[in-house]
């Protein structure tokens, strides 16, 4: 098998021999300070003619950074990741919540409590009425962006059910609430079904690879449709062929060796860029968590927080333009450092059980995994602001048609900030007026006043002030 990033065959674009070579190369050069300096210099962001120039790194270069054992280079890597994060994203953090529709599943994933032989977990699938109630609860928290989640089960969760659910979600408008972007995390499917998802106006199609190690993958997925490694790995190509511009990658860290996964993840990103002209819209960074019938220690590849943070920093350097996501699987402390290293989107107030948002007390019976960060959305919003970040509920890009390569070319040149920063302030203001506690409101209003002065373009600044006044007067949904 020969490595070819343009190939459409999983074994060729995620090529095992290339990953092994990459890891050997990284081991050989991990403490080579001349090469390390060259790699860091290549990745440094520059402003040229008012545009941001930041090349990123390929999987070999980034793997050398991840392998280095030199503490002074650990520090340089983290500082560069912070610099890139600031250059592309400023201090904005986008918020979302997962919505679990159904935990029926026919797969045998050994790490997931939804696996079909788990007889202890109660199975549940939301009706459209129950979805409406969940969405009302999420809107009442302040959410505008959801990621829907479902197990794979052609009988219980066919594509028609997913499409009907998306339609239901977009049509709930409770008080001033609205879900303006529905991202979808469902099993790998056909081009025809991806076209249907595109027509249903989804945001990002998210599918975690779980592991790029083919043999490991087969052992972890002993049966069910997901056991087909090639079909799973080639899913993003089918999604893009079906017209979905924005796709989200991820591996479940803890299942296999992290350096192997990291190289595979970057090769996948390079493949999408080479074939479709646009890399992944997002990369998620989940780690295996305890769950019903699941003990993460069984997988032997758990990683310490320090390594996890370094993976995030090296990814931020390698793919500077890609949104990076961390969920409530992680604790407040890990999320705080992950945000510094390069994460740009986080979930907040999440419940991972089917129907969990309408229960007064967090239910555990149908949960997909233990949630470490159990704070409310209001607490997360306040905490972000106390850490110096602007919580953003913005969904403007995709609604204005800034998806795929249109988004990427704006983002790669740094121009996206001309809309993102004011949009973050506008959606934060909506949140403060409609959902925030008094304490969060006060901190947020001060932040908006301070941040208005940071909008460099005077006409955008004036327009933002006008929109903020209109929000004060009760109008909603302004955007650049």
For ligand SAM, the binding residues (CB under 6 A) are: 111-112, 149, 151-152, 185-187, 207-208, 210, 226, 252, 286, 288-289, 291, 294, 329, 368-369
The least CB distance from residue 340 to ligand SAM, in Å, is: 23
Nearest-approach distance from CB 392 to ligand SAM, in angstroms: 24
**What contacts 69, CB < 8 A, 6 or more positions away?**
30, 31
Residue closer to ligand SAM, measured from CB, 106 or 266: 106
Answer whether 91's CB lies under 8 Å from 390's CB.
yes
Is 170 or 208 the residue whose CB approaches ligand SAM more closely?
Answer: 208
Min CB(44)–ligand SAM separation in Å: 33
Question: What is the smallest separation between the CB atom of 28 and ligand SAM, expressed in angstroms?
Answer: 32
- CA distances, 260 to each of 58, 221, 223, 329, 358 (Å): 14, 18, 24, 22, 40
Residue with tokens 């074939």: 275
Q: Return the number of the residue (116 or 452) whose C-beta is nearest ligand SAM.
A: 116
Task: Decide if 364 contacts 353 (C-beta within 8 A).
Answer: yes
Report d(CA 171, CA 202) in Å as an integer.
13
What is the residue whose two structure tokens read 């972007």? 181
Query: What is the DSSP code (8-state) at residue 294?
Result: B
Tell me how far, at minimum, the Cβ of 309 lies from ligand SAM, in Å.
Answer: 18
Residue with tokens 């900030």: 417
Q: Token pair of 360, please?
A: 């007064």
Closer to ligand SAM by Cβ: residue 186 or 380: 186
To ligand SAM, the closest distance from the beta carbon of 148 in angstroms equals 9
Instruction: Give kind and range of the element (H or E) at residue 324.
Output: strand 323-326
Residue closer to ligand SAM, measured from CB, 154 or 243: 154
Nearer CB in complex with ligand SAM: 53/370: 370
Using the structure block, give the residue that is written with the tokens 């520090």.
Answer: 75
Nearer to ligand SAM, 30 or 221 (CB): 221
> CA-CA distance, 376 to 387, in Å (whole number)?
16
**DSSP state, residue 253:** B
Work out how close the CB of 169 gets to ligand SAM at its nearest, in angstroms, rounded to a whole number. 16
Angle, helices 417-435/438-452, rounded to nearest 10 degrees: 150
């Amino acid at each position: 098998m020969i490595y070819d990033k343009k190939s459409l065959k999983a074994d060729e674009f995620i090529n095992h021999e290339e990953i092994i070579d990459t890891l050997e190369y990284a081991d050989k050069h991990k403490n080579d300070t001349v090469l390390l300096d060259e790699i860091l210099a290549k990745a440094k962001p520059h402003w040229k003619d008012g545009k941001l120039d930041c090349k990123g790194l390929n999987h070999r270069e980034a793997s050398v950074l991840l392998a280095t054992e030199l503490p002074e280079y650990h520090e340089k890597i983290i500082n560069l990741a912070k610099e890139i994060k600031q250059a592309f994203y400023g201090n904005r953090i986008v918020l979302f919540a997962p919505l679990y529709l159904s935990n029926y599943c026919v797969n045998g994933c050994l790490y997931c409590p939804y696996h079909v032989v788990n007889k202890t977990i109660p199975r549940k699938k939301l009706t459209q009425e129950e979805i409406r109630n969940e969405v009302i609860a999420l809107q009442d928290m302040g959410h505008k962006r959801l990621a829907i989640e479902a197990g794979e089960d052609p009988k219980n969760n066919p594509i028609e059910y997913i499409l009907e659910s998306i339609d239901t979600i977009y049509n709930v408008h409770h008080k001033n609430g609205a879900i303006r972007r529905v991202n979808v995390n469902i099993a790998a499917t056909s081009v025809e079904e991806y076209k249907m998802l595109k027509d249903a106006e989804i945001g990002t199609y998210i599918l975690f690879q779980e592991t790029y190690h083919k043999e490991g993958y087969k052992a972890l997925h002993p049966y069910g449709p997901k056991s087909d490694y090639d079909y799973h790995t080639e899913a993003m190509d089918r999604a893009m062929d079906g017209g979905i511009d924005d796709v989200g990658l991820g591996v479940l860290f803890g299942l296999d060796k992290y350096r192997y996964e990291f190289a595979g993840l970057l090769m996948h990103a390079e493949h999408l860029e080479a074939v479709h002209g646009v890399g992944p819209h997002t990369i998620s960074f989940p780690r295996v968590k305890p769950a019903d019938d699941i003990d993460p220690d069984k997988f032997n590849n758990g990683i310490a927080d320090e390594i996890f943070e370094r993976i995030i920093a090296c990814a931020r350097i390698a793919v500077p333009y890609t949104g990076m996501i961390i969920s409530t699987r992680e604790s407040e402390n890990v999320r705080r450092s992950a945000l510094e290293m390069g994460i740009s989107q986080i979930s907040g107030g999440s419940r991972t059980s089917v129907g969990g948002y309408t229960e007064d007390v967090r239910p555990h019976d149908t949960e997909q995994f233990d949630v470490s960060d159990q704070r409310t959305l209001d607490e997360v919003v306040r905490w972000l602001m106390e850490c110096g970040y602007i919580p953003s509920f913005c969904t403007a890009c995709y609604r204005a048609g800034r998806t795929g390569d249109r988004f990427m070319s704006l983002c790669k040149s740094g121009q996206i900030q001309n809309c993102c920063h004011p949009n973050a302030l506008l959606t934060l203001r909506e949140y403060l007026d409609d959902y925030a506690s008094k304490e969060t409101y006060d901190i947020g209003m001060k932040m908006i006043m301070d941040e208005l002065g940071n909008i460099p373009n005077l006409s955008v600044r004036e327009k933002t002030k006008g929109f903020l006044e209109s929000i004060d007067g009760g109008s909603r949904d302004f955007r650049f």
